[in-house]
Structure 1
Amino acid sequence: MRTVLALLLTAAATPAMALCPADAGFLTVNRPLETARAAVGDGRLTILAMGSSSIEGVGASTPDLGFVPLLERGLEARLPGVEVTVVNRGVGGENAGETAARFPAEIEATQPDLILWQLGANDVLQDRTEDVFLIDFRAGQELLSGRGADVIVIDSQRVPEDRDLDFIRGRNPALGAFSALTALEAGRVGYGVFNRFETMTGWTDLDDGGVGPDGLHLNDAGYACWAELTAESLAGALR
C-alpha cells in the first residue's frame, strides 16, 4: 500500500492515474458552476463538504490522509494563485436527512461557493427505502435553494464482495440503485454528480480495492484515489 499511496500522493496536477481509472463520466456537471468559477477568478474558493464518515475521513491512518485535506491540496496544486479552503463537516453514521438538517447552520458559518454533499450509503445500511431517501434528498434541496452556492452530490462507495461481513454482504445492488436515483434526481434539479460507486469498479489495482478492513470505510489508498480524481475533474470544470 505504501507504494500505491506514494504514487497517488505525488501525482498532483496530472491526469488521473491508471491505478484508479475513471472515464469522463466521473463528474457530471448538469449546470455550469458559475458561483465557484467566479470565486476561482477572484482567487479564493471555499468548499463545504457535507456527509457522513467518508467525508469525515474515518479509515484514514492520519487525519491529513482523509478525503477533505487531500482534495484541498489537490485543488491548490491545480489552481495556482487560488486560495482553496475545503471545510470538513462530515459526521459518521448520518443518513441523507440528518445531513440535510445541518445545512442552514453550516452554510451560515462557512459561506461556501460550492457545496459537496455525500449521501446514500448510510440510508442503504440503515435499510431505509428509496422513497424515504428521496423525501430527505428533496428536503435538503429546499434548504439549499436560494443559498447562492453551487452543489455537487457524491454518491455511495462500493463495498467489497469478498469480505465475510454480514452487514455489507449483498449490499452493492442497493447501493447501486440509490446511486442511480441520486444521479437522476441531481440531474432533475441541476446539481453536479461525482459518480463514485461506478468508478470504484476500476480500482482493482488498489490494495483491497481501496477499502479498509471493516469492509466499508476507505483506506489511505482509496482516499488518495478518490481525492485525486475529484480534484482533477473539479479543477477542469472550474478553469
Structure 2
Amino acid sequence: MRTLLALLLTAAATPLMAQCPADAAFLTVNRPLDAARAAAADGRLTILAMGSSSIEGVGASAPERSFVPLLERGLAARLPGVDVTVVNRGIGGENAGETAARFPAAIEAAQPDLILWQLGANDVLQDRSEDAFLTDFRAGQELLADSGADVIVIDSQRVPEDRDLDFIRGRNPALGAFAALTALEAGRVGYGVFHRFGTMAGWSGLEAGGVGPDGLHLNDAGYACWAELTAESLARALR
C-alpha cells in the first residue's frame, strides 16, 4: 500500500498545496538573491542548510523523507539543467548561538551560494529571552558577512495545541513572537525569510497537522509539504 508520503511526492503540485496551502508571502525576499541566481545560471547551485532537528530530519520515517533531500529533489525538478546540491548541517537541540558558532567551518567546507538558517524554536523551548536570541542572531550575521552567499532564514515551527504534552503546551504565542522578531531582524539586514510558523496554521488537512507523535518534530507529510513549498517559492525567486 502506498504511503501518504509517496502519494504526496507523486502528486502534482496543486493537490499538495491544497493540503498545506501558503500564499505568496511564504517567502519574503528582502534583497535579490544575486549569488544564488548567478550560480543557477551557471548550472550549479550549492545550498547550505543550517539549524537544528528539523533541518537534521528528526521525525521522518527515513532520511530521504526529510526536508533537505526533498528540497534538493524539488529544486532539481524545477530548475532543469542546474546541478542542485543541498548540504545538511542540522544538529538537533541547537539554539541560534550554537548553530551560528558552526558557520565558519560549515561555509568553508560547502562553499555555498545560498545559506538557509533555521532558528528560533529551540530558543523558545529552552526559555531563552528575546534579547539573548537577538544577540546570537546578530553574532551569526557577523560570521555570515564575508561568505559571499545569499541568506534566507527559516522561522519557528508551530506546535499542536491539542497534545497533552507539558513541554509544548502554551508555546505557540512565544514561538510566534520569535518568528515575528526573526522577520523584523531579517528585514533590517536584507535576509530572506521563509515564514514557517504562520504557514503551518493552514496545515489542518495533513495527518496530525504535519507534526509527529512527540508534538514537536514534523512527520513525513509535514516534511513533504514544507519542502514542496520551499522548493516552489525558491525556484520562482531564482528564475
Is TM more than 0.5 here?
Answer: yes
Q: CA deviation at 1:11?
A: 3.9
1:74 corresponds in structure 2 to: 74
Preserved CA contact (<8 Å) 2:153 2:192: yes
Structure 2: gaps spanning 5 or more residues: none
2:213 corresponds in structure 1 to: 213
| Displacement over 3 Å in runs of 4+ | 1-4, 11-16
Q: Residues 105, 134 of structure 1: CA spacing in aligned structure 2 closer, same or farther, 3 A cutoff?
A: same
1:166 corresponds in structure 2 to: 166
1:228 corresponds in structure 2 to: 228
The CA distance in 2 between the partners of 1:99 and 1:62, in whole Å, is: 24
Asked if residue 51 in structure 1 is aligned to residue 51 in structure 2, the reply is yes
The CA distance in 1 between the partners of 2:144 and 2:74, in whole Å, is: 26
Residue identity (%): 87
Q: Secondary structure at the match of 2:205?
A: coil
Q: CA deviation at 1:72?
A: 0.1
The CA distance in 2 between the partners of 1:175 and 1:109, in whole Å, is: 32
Q: Residues 46, 14 of structure 1: CA spacing in aligned structure 2 closer, same or farther, 3 A cutoff?
A: farther
The CA distance in 2 between the partners of 1:214 and 1:51, in whole Å, is: 19
Q: CA deviation at 1:211?
A: 0.1
Matches within 5 A, 1:142-181: 142-181=142-181
The CA distance in 2 between the partners of 1:10 and 1:100, in whole Å, is: 36
Q: Residues 118, 3 of structure 1: CA spacing in aligned structure 2 closer, same or farther, 3 A cutoff?
A: same
Q: CA deviation at 1:32?
A: 0.2
Preserved CA contact (<8 Å) 2:8 2:16: no
Q: CA deviation at 1:146?
A: 1.8
1:98 corresponds in structure 2 to: 98
Moved more, 5-14 or 32-41: 5-14
Tell me the TM-score normalised to structure 1 length: 0.97
Moved more, 14-23 or 125-134: 14-23
The CA distance in 1 between the partners of 2:39 and 2:15, in whole Å, is: 23
1:6 corresponds in structure 2 to: 6
Structure 1: gaps spanning 5 or more residues: none
Q: Secondary structure at the match of 1:203?
A: coil
Amino acid across the alignment from 2:164: D
The CA distance in 2 between the partners of 1:220 and 1:122, in whole Å, is: 21
Q: Residues 198, 141 of structure 1: CA spacing in aligned structure 2 closer, same or farther, 3 A cutoff?
A: same
Q: Secondary structure at the match of 1:156?
A: coil
Tell me the TM-score normalised to structure 2 length: 0.97
Preserved CA contact (<8 Å) 1:12 1:228: no
Q: CA deviation at 1:7?
A: 3.4
Aligned length: 239
Q: Residues 13, 161 of structure 1: CA spacing in aligned structure 2 closer, same or farther, 3 A cutoff?
A: closer
The CA distance in 2 between the partners of 1:119 and 1:78, in whole Å, is: 26
Amino acid across the alignment from 1:111: Q
Q: CA deviation at 1:112?
A: 0.1
